[in-house]
Chain A
Amino acid sequence: MKPDIKSAMKQDTGEEPILRIDKISKAFGGIQALNGVSFEVHKGEILGIIGPNGSGKTTIVNCITGFIKKTSGHVYFRGMDISDKPPHKIADMGITRTFQIMRPYYTLPAYKNLVIPLFSPRAKRTGGWRGGGRLGDRNTVSIDILEEIGFERDSYVPYKTASTLPTGYLKRLELARCLALKPEIIICDEVFSGLSMSEIASMVPLIERLQMEGITLIMIEHRLRELFRVANRIMVLNFGEKLTEGSSGEVMADERVKAAYFGSQKVEEVMKHA
C-alpha cells in the first residue's frame, strides 16, 4: 500500500504547511465559482489540481495570488494571513504564477521579457534566480535563465520578439518569468496545454528539476498522464467544491471523480455493462 504522502510530509518536516487555504469562497454574481475550498500545500511538494471545465481551478489561482477578491475565506503563507494583500505584494513574497492565456510583453524581445521581473524589488532583494539579479547586467542574466528553461542560447530565439515565438516557447517564458523572481511557490496554470507531445516530454524533466531545487509547485492541468508523473498529491475540484484529495491512484479510483469527468449517467451505464 502506498504511504500517505500528506502525513509523511508532515512528519518529515515537522512544520506547518507553506500555504494553507482556509474555506475560500468566490461568487461571480449568482454563480458560486468556489464554495468553501480548503487545502494545504507543504514545502517542496507538487500539488496537482484537476477538475472538469468551470470547476474553479483558475479562480482558485486568482484568489490565492490576489488577482481577484475572494468573497470569504483566508490564505495563509507560512502562517501569515495574506488574504487581503494586493497581487504585487503576494508576488513579492515569492508566490508566483503563470497565466493560462500566456501574457508575455509582446512587443519586447524574449530576453527583455525577463529583464522586467529581474528589475522587481524581490529580485533585487533576493538576487533573483541563481543570484543573477544582484549582478549589474540583467540582459546576460536573463539569457542565462532562458537557456536553463530551454531556449537555445546560440540561436536567434532569445532575441526574437515575443509576439513571433511559438506557444511552446511562450509557456517556457511564463515559467522563466516566475523563476526570475526566485520564487518559493510557483502556481502553474495549465503549462502543458497546447503543447505537442515532444514539447511536453521536455517540459516534465524541467518541472522535476524545479522541485529538486526546493520550489513548491501547484499545477493545474488537463493533461493527466504527465501530471500524475510529476505530482505528489492530487486534488479534484468540481462545481467549486473540493471533491477529494490523495495520490493519483486513490483519486482516479474515486467514483465521484469519474462521475464528475464523464457524467454520472455514463458511469452508471458503464457499471451496468460491467
Chain B
Amino acid sequence: MKNNTQRRKERIDRGIKVRTDGLYALMSIRELSYLALPRLILIIGLLLLPLLMPGMYWQRVITITCIYALLALSFDFLAHYVGLVSLGGAFFVGVGGYMAAIMNTTLGLPPWATVPLAALAGGGVCTLLLLPCLPLRGVYFAIVSLMYPLFVARVIEALDILGGTDGITGIDSFTNRWVEQYFIIVILLLLLFGVRRLVNTDIGLVLRGVKDNDQAIRASGMNVTMYKAMAVYIASAMGCLGGACLVHIYMWSGISQFALDFSILPIAATVIGGGGTLVGPVLGCLILVPISELLRDFGTLRIVFYALILVAFIIFRSEGIMVYGQRKYQQFERWTRI
C-alpha cells in the first residue's frame, strides 16, 4: 500500500514542566541533568580548552577570545536587556587598558591589583563620560558611542599624552601563561552566570522594562537615567576588565586598544551566537576569533572569507546558534507513519 510509506515529521516537547520562563518544576534527577548538562558542557569545556590547545600560539588565541567574549557579553547585556546599542566596546577596552597601564607603571601595582581596580575605576570613567548620551535611544546612542573611541584615540595622538603614538611600555605580565589563561576564563564564567542571574532579578526586570518602554518606568516613579547609568557601569566595567587583561598580556598599552575591532567583532559574535541569550555571544566569539586566526593563511583574502562566513550565518541562521540550539534541545523531532 502506498499510504503506509507516507511519513511526517513530528515535533515533541521534552517532558519538563515549565510554568514561566526561568522557573522550572523539576521532578526527577533526569530532568535536573537535562538542565545541568548544557551548563556543565560550557564550564568544563572552557576550563579544558587551554589544555587541549597545541601550543603557546593557540593558547594565546584562546585568551584573546575570552577577552572578546567579555566584550560581546557586555554588548549583549546592554543591547538586549537595557536597549542601549553600544558601539563603544573599543572605548571600554581602551580606558581599562590605559588605566591598568598607568597604575602598573607609575604606581607600581601588580596585575592582580590593577585589573580589578582598572575595571572598577574604568567603569566609573566610562559611565561619567557616557552620562550625557544616556537619554538617547537606539541608533542615536550607537552613533555617539562609536564616536568615543575615535575621539580619545585622536586626542592621545594629537596632544602626545600617555605615551602618544608609542603607547606605554614596560608593563608587567601575569606570573605565567597558565595564570593568565585561567584567570580570564574563570572571570568570564563568573561574569556570564552573574549577568544571567542579574537579568532575572527584580533590578534586571526594571532594566528590561527600560528597554521595552522607559515612559512607563518613569510613570512608576523610577529614574530611568539612573538605571541606564547602572547598566552602563556594569557593561563598561566588564569591557575595562578585558582591556586591563589585554594590556598585561601584551605588556604594552597603545592607541590600537581603541581600534574598532573591539566594537565590531563582539556585535558580529552576538549576531552569530544569538542576541539576548548571553551565552550566545560567548559562543560566537569562540567561533569567530579562531576562524579569523585560521584565515591568516589566506593573507589579504582573509577579510573576504571572513565576510562570506558572516553573510552565510546571517542568511541561513539569522536567529543565532544559541536560539536555534535551545529550540532544538527543548523539542525533538521524529518521523512517524501516517
Contacts and interface: CB of A to CB of B under 8 A. Distances in A.
Interface in B179-222: 202-203, 205-206, 208-209, 211-213, 215-222
A115 to B, nearest CB: 5
Contact of B20 (A67, A123, A159): A159
A116 B209 contact: yes
B321 interface: no
A121 B221 contact: yes
B8 interface: no
Contacts of B211: 107
A52 B36 CA distance: 60
B222 A88 contact: yes
B209 A91 contact: no
Interface in B210-244: 211-213, 215-224
B30 interface: no
Interface stretch (A25-33, A95-103, A198-206): A95-103
A183 to B, nearest CB: 10
Contacts of B21: 109
B9 interface: no
A116 B219 contact: no
A103 B220 contact: no
B337 interface: no
B221 A105 contact: no
A116 B220 contact: yes
A88 B212 contact: no
Nearest to A112: B205
B20 A119 contact: no
B2 interface: no
Candidate in A106, A116, A177 with the most chain B CB atoms within 10 angstroms: A116
Contact of A177 (B19, B20, B220, B224): B220
B221 A177 contact: no
Task: Name the interface size band of chain B.
Answer: 20 to 34
B215 A67 contact: yes
Given A107-B208, A107-B212, A159-B20, A97 B219 contact: yes
A120 interface: yes
B212 A92 contact: no
Interface in B148-200: none
Contact of B221 (A103, A107, A109, A181): A181
Contact of A115 (B202, B217, B218): B202
A177 B222 CA distance: 13
Contacts of B217: 88, 116
Contact of B205 (A67, A104, A116, A178): A116
- Which 5 interchain pairs have the tightest Cβ spacing? A91-B221, A92-B221, A105-B212, A117-B220, A87-B218
18 contacts: A67-B215, A86-B223, A88-B224, A96-B219, A96-B220, A96-B221, A99-B219, A104-B212, A106-B212, A108-B209, A108-B212, A116-B205, A116-B216, A116-B222, A119-B203, A119-B222, A121-B221, A180-B220
Given A99-B216, A177-B220, 16 more contacts: A88-B220, A88-B223, A89-B221, A96-B220, A97-B219, A99-B215, A104-B213, A107-B211, A107-B212, A108-B212, A116-B217, A117-B221, A120-B220, A121-B221, A159-B19, A159-B20
Interface of A: 65, 67, 86-89, 91-92, 96-97, 99, 103-109, 112, 115-117, 119-123, 138, 159, 177-178, 180-181
